[in-house]
Amino acid sequence: MRRILTALAAALMATITALATATPANALAITAGFMITSGGRWCTVSFPDPQNPTIVYTAGHCYKDGITEVSLGNIKIGQFIPEIHDPATDLIAIRLYSNIPSEYSLMSREPLLDPWVPNEGSTVCKYGATTQETCGTVLSVDDTKFAVQMPADHGDSGAPIYERLKPGSKGVHVVGTVISEDPRRPGVIYCSTIGAINNFLSQTWGTDWDMD
Question: Does one domain contain both 52 and 78?
Answer: yes
Domain assignment present for residue 204? The answer is no
3-state secondary structure the chain: CHHHHHHHHHHHHHHHHHHHHCCHHHCCCEEECCEEEECCEEEECCEECCCCCCEEEEEHHHCCCCCCEEEECCEEEEEEEEEEEECCCCEEEEEECCCCCEEEEECCCCEEECCCCCCCCCEEEEEECCCEEEEEEEEEECCCEEEEECCCCCCCCCCEEEECCCCCCCCEEEEEEEEEECCCCCCEEEEEEHHHHHHHHHHHHCCCCCCC
Q: Name the pLDDT band for 65 (thresholds 50, 70, 90).
A: confident
pLDDT in tens, 87-124: 999 999 999 999 999 999 999 899 999 999 999 999 99
CA distance 78 to 84: 14
Question: Does one domain contain both 7 and 86?
Answer: yes
Q: Count how many residues are written for the chain.
A: 212
Query: How many C-beta neighbours within 10 Å does residue 112 have?
Result: 21
pLDDT in tens, 5-21: 344 444 544 554 444 44
Question: Does one domain contain both 126 and 183?
Answer: yes
Question: Does one domain contain both 67 and 20?
Answer: yes
Range of the domain at 20: 2-104
Instruction: Give the number of domains in the chain.
Output: 2
pLDDT of residue 17: 47
pLDDT of residue 27: 57
Average pLDDT over residues 137-163: 95
pLDDT of residue 211: 80
Question: Does one domain contain both 6 and 87?
Answer: yes
Question: Does one domain contain both 88 and 122?
Answer: no
Domain assignment present for residue 149? The answer is yes
Domain assignment present for residue 212? The answer is no
CA distance 8 to 12: 6
Average pLDDT over residues 24-45: 86
Average pLDDT over residues 183-195: 93
Q: What percent of the chain has pLDDT over 70?
A: 86
Domain assignment present for residue 205? The answer is no
Question: Does one domain contain both 34 and 100?
Answer: yes
Cβ-in-10-Å burial (0-12, 13-18, 19+) of 166 comes to exposed
Domain assignment present for residue 210? The answer is no
Lowest mean pLDDT among 5-19, 144-158, 162-176: 5-19
pLDDT of residue 23: 39
Domain assignment present for residue 211? The answer is no
Average pLDDT over residues 23-44: 83
pLDDT of residue 16: 45
CA distance 42 to 171: 26
| DSSP three-state, residue 140 | strand
Average pLDDT over residues 28-37: 95
Question: Does one domain contain both 38 and 89?
Answer: yes
Average pLDDT over residues 144-160: 95
Average pLDDT over residues 40-48: 96
- Domain boundary among the residues 41, 72, 104 is at 104
Question: Does one domain contain both 23 and 100?
Answer: yes
Q: With contact defined as beta carbons under 8 Å apart, do 181 and 123 qualify?
A: no
Mean per-residue pLDDT over the chain, rounded: 87
Average pLDDT over residues 75-82: 97
Average pLDDT over residues 69-88: 96
Q: Which CATH number goes with the domain that contains 133?
A: 2.40.10.10
